[in-house]
Structure 1
């Protein structure tokens, strides 16, 4: 660009008051013009995380949409009326022997409601799709001012948008639950597989539920829930579990002027993520090469010295389907949108579930071969250059997993 023209543009812009155009020009003491940048449009983070995991690339290159694959979501239910699941009828289960079920009381219909909002958000990361939607983003002004900002995005898509979803409700309306309901859900799935030996009606399960585990209570990985997970994997289901959000603790130095500070804490993997056969997932941001592993993400090794987590995936400020309490927390009706942010390894795990479903929809010969699926996902992960106890084998990579076979 001609420097006189550029300087004229700068003079015009700086005297015109705030505008989108003036914010495109960078100016510093080394010269009047350092460069001009377009004011690029930004998109919801679920789109960014689909790029981070290379799921969008796999959909375009291999048709890895999760079609013909069914994934169980053991959580607080899935809101069937959400538009995110309408386009591909993800909750319809046509011609399937499966039926949605609640293990905390209620009917089949109760499994398709979600007053807590957690299960719907998790399910939306695995599957479903919508276009031309409003999303709500948390806009932090300062430490005392958190505002909700609406944005219009072209599309919101799960990692495997055409994957079918089976809702197994184990959390109550307030988001609470207990181990008995979780174990019953896992036993239900194992019995289902035994009844349909030879052709699996469901191919994987996402566990974004759990509890902090103290290895002094029980042998690590040998608790009742971990044994159920391992048995389910042996029966042919891929089990993906959240690592937990207890990977950061407080420490205090020595001396009269010692202060407290936060630090990463090892041996904090939650159950059922301690299960040997589970694919246990920690959290990153949508820019993992820059930010690394999330501070809250639970860290290994396990209490008995096994390497965990297995993988990491985006779990910070992930935008997905909003329902129930999560939707209500967006504020008055004028600020509520069908999609909202949430963070935690609960959001990281369904990214890996969606990647696994996408992989199986392309390489159907691996259905039921759970050990090989885990080996492929771990072996094709991208090393982020962080400690093994933080990142596991690295960032899940859909394209590399599909191409490695």
Structure 2
């Protein structure tokens, strides 16, 4: 990826909401307790934290000129300091690793130059985490295939996640090859200040953890014909808690396929292991991936190669930074939608913990939607039961609205409980007892839950829709309106269900 984009004032993100109260985010200022800062971003032994510097583009000059002036300012302010080099990640954002005093010195030096300022805002580089067969009937995508041939053919969808395992048989029909073979990209190098970009693009087609492959399998692909899949289902114990894994068979007449089985997928790898049996990414990495879609792949909207993007990840955010939906990540999503790309985001899995947990934060917790689910233009998805949504309603862990500035979120619901999809990497290791050595490349599947899976259902449904109603390609706002106005209410509170459960058949019937 070209990490030093040019651009002019007309092609960059518009800075909205007026000047912030402070150039430096409160969470990054000196005197803030370390335990508070650690809730936002990792803090190293030298007290340095990853930050995103937003360049001041209010002066009508080339973005590249402002960036070069900032980099010169940085070199002057940080001379003698052993800090990682700054790295541009999009046209108006530069990733740095600084401590509170270095941030203050940098801002002061910017003010003292006498020239137009280069620093508009210094944000935390927020840490983001993933939002962890029968469900296709719930959203009626199987009926849409039979009635409208809505298979996703000709549609390309980006998956910003932990990678997609190219060797899983689910994707053997060309899901990751052909027109998308050169589009896969690994952005996880941005999680380490001194790391270099991967030389082999196929690293984006490796998934040691399995989250991205599970999400991707819900969107597209299918179990090959004449292949008997190994399907693992988790059975509850006698006390109702999660029990062991057992093998199950497909129900008669059913197959395992994504909601848009013939769509093409692009793996944009942003999540990596955090060393503690989990996955993590940063705002910088996700913004770089979104910018890559917008400017590198789609040429700023002039060539719509990638039609949609799925982000099954999110983070808590500090409302003292900006209004909900105005963070760098949310604004980058809005900008991408403005160029014709549908962006689907998981709402988060904080619906229960947000309501029940005690917090010392004096602001309290009015809602539990996470960034980037706060983005105005994103389609934010909550979770419901895979085959009995009207009975069980909204999943109790699914994040609830409204946004802190009063907007309705989530936008839609989709199945997210015990969803069967591809098993690889760490997920596959969970069912090692069900998989023999001869199953090394077998079509293995496992159940997993979360709004990650719900968002993938919506991405697949929209890809299927666009494959048969091509006139809506490049019109993401109209697509969002079609799916929200044709959703089915479950009779729950609107800040829990949004507009309701996605219904692909109703959308196709009513267009």
Q: Distance in 2 between matches of 1:370 and 1:384?
A: 25
Tell me what 1:221 maps to: 325
Candidates 397, 406, 420, aligned match of 1:305: 406
Q: Which runs of no fewer than 5 residues in structure 2 stay unpaired?
A: 1-132, 190-197, 359-364
Tell me what 1:182 maps to: 286
How many residues end up aligned between the 2 structures? 346
Deviates more, 1:339-348 or 1:124-133: 124-133
Shift of residue 97, structure 1, vs aligned partner: 8.1
SS of the residue 2:255 aligns to: strand
* 1:280-291 map, 5 Å: 280-286=380-386, 287-291=388-392
Question: For the Cα contact (< 8 Å) 1:213–1:268, is it kept in 2?
Answer: no
Tell me what 1:240 maps to: 344
Question: For the Cα contact (< 8 Å) 1:85–1:128, is it kept in 2?
Answer: yes
Q: Distance in 2 between matches of 1:188 and 1:353?
A: 19
Tell me what 1:71 maps to: 157
SS of the residue 1:371 aligns to: helix
Candidates 97, 101, 106, aligned match of 2:185: 101
SS of the residue 2:350 aligns to: coil
Question: For the Cα contact (< 8 Å) 2:180–2:265, is it kept in 1?
Answer: no
Q: Distance in 2 between matches of 1:344 and 1:194?
A: 30
C-alpha spacing 1:252/1:275, structure 2 compared with 1 (3 Å): closer
C-alpha spacing 1:393/1:266, structure 2 compared with 1 (3 Å): farther
Is residue 267 of structure 2 the alignment partner of residue 170 of structure 1?
A: no
Shift of residue 48, structure 1, vs aligned partner: 1.4
SS of the residue 2:319 aligns to: coil
Candidates 371, 374, 382, aligned match of 1:274: 374
Q: Deviations over 1:117-147 (max 9, x none)?
A: 0000000000010153120000112346711
Deviates more, 1:172-181 or 1:281-290: 172-181
Question: For the Cα contact (< 8 Å) 2:340–2:475, is it kept in 1?
Answer: yes
Question: For the Cα contact (< 8 Å) 1:242–1:345, is it kept in 2?
Answer: yes
SS of the residue 1:110 aligns to: helix
Tell me what 1:150 maps to: 247
Q: Deviations over 1:333-383 (max 9, x none)?
A: 647871001100000001000010011001000000111000001011011
SS of the residue 2:334 aligns to: helix
Q: Which runs of no fewer than 5 residues in structure 1 stay unpaired?
A: 1-46, 254-264
Q: Distance in 1 between matches of 2:302 and 2:285?
A: 27
Shift of residue 218, structure 1, vs aligned partner: 2.5
Shift of residue 98, structure 1, vs aligned partner: 4.7
Candidates 332, 339, 354, aligned match of 2:445: 339
Candidates 488, 498, 501, aligned match of 1:382: 488
* 1:116-127 map, 5 Å: 116-127=209-220
Is residue 471 of structure 2 the alignment partner of residue 365 of structure 1?
A: yes
Q: Distance in 2 between matches of 1:145 and 1:56?
A: 29
Is residue 507 of structure 2 the alignment partner of residue 401 of structure 1?
A: yes
Is residue 236 of structure 2 the alignment partner of residue 140 of structure 1?
A: yes
Q: Distance in 2 between matches of 1:212 and 1:400?
A: 34
